Amino acid sequence: MIIAKTKSMEEIEDMLKDYSRIAVIGCGGCVSFYRVGSAKEVEEVSKNLEKIGKKVVYKGMIARQCYIGTEDELGSLSDEEILKKVSRAIGKAEYDFEAILSLACGVGVQNMSRFLSKPVLPAQNTFFMGIKNMDENKYNEFCIGCGNCILHLTAGICPLARCPKSLLNGSCGGIFKGKCEVDRERDCAWVLIYNRLKAMGKLDNIRRIFEPKDFSKASHTRRIDI
C-alpha cells in the first residue's frame, strides 16, 4: 500500500518554472487506489497548470509507473516511443514536452526517470509504503516515504533511499570506481545523481546545500488513518 499527498500548486509551479510544455501523467496503481494520482486528479492538475500559463501537451494515465521496463527493454527507445509504448491512451502526434509531471509515488517517478532523458518531476509527497511479501522475489527500495520529496532537485534519484548513509549533500569519501564502499556492487547514488544532472544541464543543483531532513513526518512506527 502506498499513500501520498499532492504537493501544493505553489510547489508545483516552482518546480516547473523553467518549463513551458508539460506532460501530466497519472498512475493507475497503488497511489490511484487511495485516491491520489487518478485520472480525475490528472485533469485537475492540468487545468491548474494551464491557469498559470503552462501548455499541457499530453495528459493521461499509465497502469503502474513502477512497472515500466520490467517486461520490455525501453532503454534504447526515444521519449516519444516510450510514452507511446507505456500509455495506450496517447492518441496524438504531439509529444514535444519539456518535462513530465508525474502523479505517481516516489518509486514511479524514479522508475520513469531511468528511461526518459527529460526531467520527471514529482507532483506527490510520498508518506507511507507497505507490501506483503508473497514469495521470494527481491525488491530494491527507491523511496522511504519521507513526506518531503526532493526528486526534482536530484534528477529523479533519491539519495535518502539509494545511499546507504542517506547523505543529502553529495557523496562521502568511500567511492571506488563509481561504486559504494558499503556494497561494491552498488552504484554510488550521488555519482548517479551527478551524471544525470550533467546530462540534463542541471549541474547547478549539485551545489545546493540541503538542510537536515525533518523526519517527523516519517517517524516510525507510523499509523495513518485512511
pLDDT in tens, 19-58: 999 999 988 877 545 566 788 899 999 999 999 999 998 8
More reliable by pLDDT, 186 or 218: 186
- Please tell me the pTM assigned to this model: 0.75
pLDDT in tens, 107-161: 889 888 887 778 999 999 987 665 444 455 556 778 888 888 999 999 999 999 8
Q: Does domain 1-147 have CATH number 3.40.50.11860?
A: yes
Q: Do the beta carbons of residue 23 and residue 49 sit within 8 Å?
A: no
Give the C-alpha separation, 31 to 42, whole Å.
Answer: 13
The band of 224, judged by pLDDT with boundaries at 50, 70 and 90, is: low
Q: 2-6 and 99-102 as β-strands: parallel, antiparallel, unpaired? A: unpaired
Enumerate the CATH 3.40.50.11860 domain ranges in the chain, comma separated: 1-147
